[in-house]
Each structure stands twice: as structure tokens, then as C-alpha cells.
């Protein structure tokens, strides 16, 4: 179980592709900073991968009502909890 | 749980420096420990005592300093990354014969060994990339 964080927008396609290729079942993808823009279109993720976005970054960009279905929003406390609930954290940037 | 944070971003250039600070605040509020915060690459600018942002903007170096004082955090700035970017303590200023030093109180310059040690002795190492 790995928590992956991604902080770059979907226009950084190579990074997004590399990140998605590394995801396996039971991993979680946390979108933060400009990475929350990846939540607009919806991502084709492997089965069993949960996708969440950081609340403050979603709110700062005014996209809270435009997130693709299936994407959860967590606050900073939720970010810390995700780190605790996964055995390691990988950051894509 | 015991966290260490690795910060690559300078204040006012990338958001990651602020994200790392928010994470530290949230983790401490939940009763977790922070073993070390390691500032690397452009992240060394978080340790500058001379950064003077406008009053209505977030002063991250000051916030890190205050958080470290309150929670006795170990704020380590990579010495090789810092010296080449002009973030010096008194020792390095003497060594390189510079007219002044600007490492903020509460931060210390040290080597990558401190990052390796943090990775070994923390439950989680969280990277905030620029």
C-alpha cells in the first residue's frame, strides 16, 4: 500500500503517465497543489486505486464543483492520516 | 507516528514549501512527532533570516522558526545546497570570507547524512517536491 502524491498539472503529461504506471491495487493517489487540476477530467487509474484531492488546493483554485466523479476531497488532517495508513509515501513532482 | 519532511521548494516560488508547513502543523496537532525537517535544493531559502515578504503575505521562514521553537523541531538545511545559494551561517561566512551571514536562528546547516539518518529513524519520510 503506497500513497502517491502528485503536485503538477495534467499538462505535465509525462509525469502523470509515469505516476499512473506506478500505481497498483490498494494504492492511493493524492492530488495536491496544481495536481488538483488532474481531478477535473478524471483519470484512468488501475482497479483498486483510490483518488483523493487536497481540500485547500481545490478551494484555492475554485474547482470544487467541477471534480470528476469518484474523487474524494481530504483536508490537511486527512493528508496526515493517509500517510499513516499507507506503509510508504512516494512523491511525484 | 514519527515523520520527517524533505522540502525542495523555496518560499514564494513553489507552493510545496507552504504545503510542507501545513502538513507539519496538521501532524503536530494530531499528536504525531516530527523527527526532522530537511531543506534541500532551493528549499534552503526557507532558512534565510533576510527574507522580507510584504506584511500581507505569508512569511514562511518566520513560521518555520516559530513552529520549531514551540515544538523543538530539528530544522536542517543542506550545507552544500545552502552555501552555493548564499545561505550561510557564521562559520561558512568566515570560511568563504563573506561579509555577512544569514542563516535564521532555529535552523542549522548540516550534510546529507542527516537526511539519511532521518529516513532510517522516521516511520515516514514525506517529500515536498518543487
Domains of chain B, CATH where assigned: 2-128 (3.40.1260.10)
DSSP A30-43: EE-GGGGGHHHH--
Q: For B1-130, where are the E strands, in sequence order?
A: 2-7, 33-39, 75-78, 107-110, 124-128
Catalytic residue at B58? no
Chain B residue with CA closest to A78: the answer is B26
CA distances from A6 to A76, A91, B23, B40 (A): 15, 6, 15, 19
Interface confidence (ipTM) of the complex: 0.96
Per-position pLDDT tens, chain A of length 93: 999 999 999 999 999 999 999 999 999 999 999 999 999 987 999 999 999 999 999 999 999 999 999 999 999 999 999 999 999 999 999
What does the alpha-carbon distance between residue A36 and residue A38 come to, in Å, rounded to a whole number? 5
Q: Is A79 on the interface with B (CB under 8 A)?
A: yes
CATH of domain A2-92: 3.40.1260.10
Say if CB B8 and CB B41 are below 8 A apart.
Answer: yes
Beta-carbon contacts of residue B34 (< 8 Å; ≥ 6 apart):
B2, B3, B4, B5, B24, B27, B28, B71, B73
Q: Which residues in chain B have Cβ-Cβ distances shorter than 8 Å to A76?
A: 22-23, 25-26
Instruction: For B43-69, write each residue's pLDDT tens digit.
Output: 999 999 999 999 999 999 999 999 999
pTM: 0.96
Q: What percent of chain B has pLDDT over 90?
A: 99
Domains of chain A, by residue range, sit at: 2-92
Amino acid at each position: 500500500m503506497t500513497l502517491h502524491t502528485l503536485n503538477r498539472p495534467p499538462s505535465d503529461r509525462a509525469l502523470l503517465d509515469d505516476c499512473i504506471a506506478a500505481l497498483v491495487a490498494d494504492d492511493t493517489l493524492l492530488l495536491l497543489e496544481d495536481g488538483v487540476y488532474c481531478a477535473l477530467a478524471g483519470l484512468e487509474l488501475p482497479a483498486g486505486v483510490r483518488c483523493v484531492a487536497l481540500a485547500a488546493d481545490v478551494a484555492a483554485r475554485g474547482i470544487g464543483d467541477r471534480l470528476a466523479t469518484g474523487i474524494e476531497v481530504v483536508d490537511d488532517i486527512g493528508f496526515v492520516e493517509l500517510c499513516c495508513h499507507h506503509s510508504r509515501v512516494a512523491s511525484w513532482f | 507516528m514519527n515523520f520527517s519532511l524533505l522540502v525542495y521548494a523555496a518560499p514564494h516560488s513553489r507552493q510545496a514549501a507552504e504545503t510542507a508547513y501545513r502538513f507539519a502543523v496538521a501532524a503536530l496537532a494530531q499528536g504525531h512527532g516530527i523527527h526532522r525537517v530537511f531543506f534541500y535544493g532551493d528549499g534552503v531559502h526557507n532558512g534565510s533570516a533576510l527574507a522580507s515578504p510584504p506584511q500581507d503575505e505569508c512569511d514562511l521562514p518566520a513560521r518555520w522558526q516559530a513552529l520549531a521553537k514551540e515544538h523543538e523541531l530539528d530544522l536542517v538545511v543542506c550545507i552544500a545546497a545552502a552555501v552555493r545559494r548564499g545561505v550561510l551561517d557564521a562559520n561558512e561566512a568566515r570560511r568563504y570570507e563573506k561579509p555577512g551571514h544569514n542563516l535564521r536562528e532555529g535552523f542549522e546547516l548540516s550534510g546529507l547524512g542527516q537526511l539519511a539518518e532521518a529516513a532510517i529513524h522516521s516511520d515516514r519520510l514525506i517529500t515536498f517536491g518543487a
